[in-house]
């Protein structure tokens, strides 16, 4: 199986729900067990063969650059793609298009998670997918939006409804083909979760890889505290 050596990581969020923590520190640099959340994501990618990462930065970008630099201390190459204005998750990816010419990984850099990207890539290639998402079970899927599946194939996404129910949700990690760039308007704000993925699902080109693994969104004080208390470090991820 051909290796994937490049990844795009979203690291430009404001983290408004985590204020006052994020008034001085960008959300991806918030510490868990003494290390920034983003560093765990980069380590996770490296474990699965990634050698070059593009960080999509925006809010307090200079602090992210100051900490990670060229990536030398982590043993990977880091490039930066700066959003002058927020472009959304798909818009930020589109801006970094020049760095990618084949299959790549993508993830949210402000979540604490342990993903088996190698397992995902196997599912991706088996199904000749355009996109493959890491999926995890959640006690309350209503907080994230429920993913409806049939086998590996993702059928649809159920919006956050506020009604508590168990279900499968996206863990914010993906395998993508470079053709997805054609679906994203240049220089416009757009969402990969709300626009690109539903369109791929309609075309029957979007698949999921279910995992039993650590996943801490850490997007509010309660979840951030949970991540600090329960995070066990990178293992490479497990299969559900």
* Contacts for 203 with CB less than 8 Å, ≥ 6 apart: 130
Whole-angstrom distance, CA of residue 202 vs CA of residue 240 = 25
160 is catalytic: yes
DSSP string, 54-100: EEEE-TTHHHHHHHHTTSGGGTSEEEEEE-SS--HHHHHHHHTGGG-
125 token code pair: 């290639």
Give me the phi and psi of 60, to 5 degrees please: 50, 45
Which among 72, 73, 98, 160 is annotated as catalytic?
A: 160
- The continuous run of DSSP H or E covering 35 comes out as strand 35-36
Q: CA 115, 134, 60 angle in degrees (round to 5)?
A: 70
> Does residue 169 contact residue 133 with C-beta atoms inside 8 Å?
no
> Does residue 40 contact residue 32 with C-beta atoms inside 8 Å?
yes
Catalytic residues: 160
């Amino acid at each position: 199986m051909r290796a994937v050596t490049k990844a795009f990581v979203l690291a430009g969020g404001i983290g408004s729900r985590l204020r006052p923590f994020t008034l001085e520190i960008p959300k991806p640099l918030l510490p868990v067990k003494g290390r920034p959340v983003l560093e765990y994501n980069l380590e996770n990618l490296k474990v699965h063969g990634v050698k070059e990462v593009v960080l999509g930065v925006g809010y307090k970008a200079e602090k992210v650059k100051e900490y990670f630099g060229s990536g030398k201390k982590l043993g990977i190459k880091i490039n930066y793609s700066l959003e002058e204005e927020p472009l959304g998750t798909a818009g930020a990816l589109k801006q970094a298009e020049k760095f990618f010419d084949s299959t790549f990984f993508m993830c949210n850099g402000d979540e604490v998670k342990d993903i088996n990207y190698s397992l995902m890539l196997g599912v991706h290639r088996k199904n000749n997918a355009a996109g493959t998402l890491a999926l995890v079970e959640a006690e309350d899927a209503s907080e994230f939006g429920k993913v409806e599946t049939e086998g590996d194939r993702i059928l649809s996404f159920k919006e956050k409804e506020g009604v508590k129910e168990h279900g499968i949700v996206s863990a914010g990690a993906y395998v993508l083909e470079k053709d997805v760039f054609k679906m994203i308007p240049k220089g416009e704000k757009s969402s990969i979760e709300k626009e690109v993925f539903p369109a791929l699902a309609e075309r029957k080109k979007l698949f999921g890889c279910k995992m039993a693994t650590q996943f801490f969104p850490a997007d509010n004080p309660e979840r951030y505290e949970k991540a600090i208390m329960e995070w066990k470090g990178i293992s490479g991820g497990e299969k559900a």
